Structure 1
């Protein structure tokens, strides 16, 4: 079946508020060597999308201006040199951009099979957060069974993924949330401890909840003035991994604590990494994580869905901060 030459996409002409997210007509991309063309059925919405829309998140060189970092759909064409996946395969995929559209060209290595039993909407909610949490919590922070980890933003897409993955691999999980209702939701997902950061000092409350002991790992999306509190909370040989900085990219550090406790401070940004790195990470997820969906140890957590034409409402939902889990666009 011949694909159309044009498609609907969300490709803002200029930064702005949610109102700039309106469907426009764009050419259907042609897969380059090593790429596949996916007929998109659903696209995940992520915090970097909001920052990009506002003009605060620079895109990697050559990334599509069309928004969207993760999709699910069917492969309808393959570029030169692609043996797998094949035309007709149903996949979810991580993108450098281009997901808010009816078609997207994706490096073949960044496609993953849709886990058994999951819908397109559920599958589209996985790549961005699973790539991020797996690489940072387990590969960068070396989290191992028996460790206690603190995750900020416990009901965000990253937060719920971190809870599920951590529990699947035998970690004790402490999360922070902005309300008692969100704390209850985090505990329902499996968090051992959920702390309302508006009810007191999260570091003191976390230490108390952990029997007076510091935590082994902090996965931090907040930055700013949270960083010194995180470092004070870490136990000896603790690891601190920064993946975002909602309260700013700068922090005052007490290096004596870093030295005395032999801490490791690290961080990463997924979007600019190479196709080779992301492809290797995808292989690791398929091998070590994807089987856990069939075993019932992992599941997709969907907060809400919106039609592609209502992408503005999806962004408003994210900016309101009331979501629990992922927001997903359904693509016609």
Structure 2
């Protein structure tokens, strides 16, 4: 079958279209004929071996697919350790979720990682309360575009979006943000407070890193929370000093999606069910960021790393 493989770690240039043997499902697993593959920022880290979970070579990247099982069920699935950039993929049965009618491939894949991430950040990390102000960095991206919508649906008082272009800022406003500011602002602390009517902010969702994180922490109100879930800028923020958290009664929290499966109860399933319901009710939608043929996975990674993309990127292994 056709797949995209990594045999040496590096940037987009290491993604190589190849022919490989079809995977064989074991007990408790399901074989999926892949119709679409979701492309995530984590995939770029996986290809260069800078992800939280170490990669092993040779590697077929990709952690999420939507398609048909051998018995005809339409499912969206999380894959353990990759394997998604291919015509067929194997998933643990418990990680394959049936897709309801009215939820297309784009929305199904967007909710699996980005949607669930936004849900968990707002519900479990930030504990959003009605009326609170929410800053969403990278608000036109996969997670950000969903987080903006969820924050509004769940009663945020003011949603402040940051994005790098006027086009992206306009999209964030269209999705429900109350104000959108330039992510390249020289002083993000002042920019966020000004966008919040001169007041400090309650919640920040951050996947940028570097000075963006540092200056966002400085913008938090007493009992404000910053939820950190990525480092797209590939720059480390400054170490957080506990005395500063004490002095300002603020919280900095991190989130890595795999840890959700260690929680009691079916938190991930609950998140997906609610997200799919919101889509069916017309209260939530994914943003299409572009669809690429499987052989063009390198171009998809280049686009994602440039931070010039909007919404969700997909690969089509049938092309």
Structure 1: 4+ residue segments shifted above 4 A = 60-64, 274-279
Task: Tell me which residue corresponds to 1:268.
Answer: 255
TM-score (norm 1): 0.86
Give the distance between the partners of 1:63 and 1:242, measured in 2 at CA.
29
Conservation of the 8 A alpha-carbon contact between 1:73 and 1:92: yes
- 1:286 aligned residue (266, 272, 275): 272
Task: Tell me which residue corresponds to 2:139.
Answer: 154
Task: Tell me which residue corresponds to 2:23.
Answer: 29
Give the distance between the partners of 2:205 and 2:260, measured in 1 at CA.
23
C-alpha deviation, 1:259, in angstroms: 1.0
Give the distance between the partners of 2:265 and 2:4, measured in 1 at CA.
26
Structure 2 spans left out of the alignment, 5+ residues: none
Whether 1:90 aligns to 2:74 is yes
TM-score (norm 2): 0.90
Give the distance between the partners of 2:168 and 2:201, measured in 1 at CA.
22
- Which moved further from structure 2: 152-161 or 196-205? 196-205
RMSD between aligned residues: 2.4
Task: Tell me which residue corresponds to 1:320.
Answer: 306
- TM alignment of 1:90-239, pairs within 5 A: 90-96=74-80, 97-171=82-156, 172-239=158-225
Structure 1 spans left out of the alignment, 5+ residues: 1-6, 77-86
Conservation of the 8 A alpha-carbon contact between 1:43 and 1:125: no
User: Using a 3 Å threshold, how does the CA distance of structure 1 residues 15 and 247 change in structure 2: closer, same or farther?
Assistant: closer
Whether 1:70 aligns to 2:64 is yes
The alignment partner of 1:290 has SS state of helix
Conservation of the 8 A alpha-carbon contact between 1:122 and 1:300: yes
Conservation of the 8 A alpha-carbon contact between 2:188 and 2:216: no
Conservation of the 8 A alpha-carbon contact between 1:179 and 1:198: no
User: Using a 3 Å threshold, how does the CA distance of structure 1 residues 16 and 61 change in structure 2: closer, same or farther?
Assistant: closer
The alignment partner of 1:183 has SS state of helix
Task: Tell me which residue corresponds to 2:297.
Answer: 311
Give the distance between the partners of 2:119 and 2:272, measured in 1 at CA.
11
CA-to-aligned-CA distance 1:153-183 (integer Å, 9 cap, x gap): 1111111121122222222321211122221
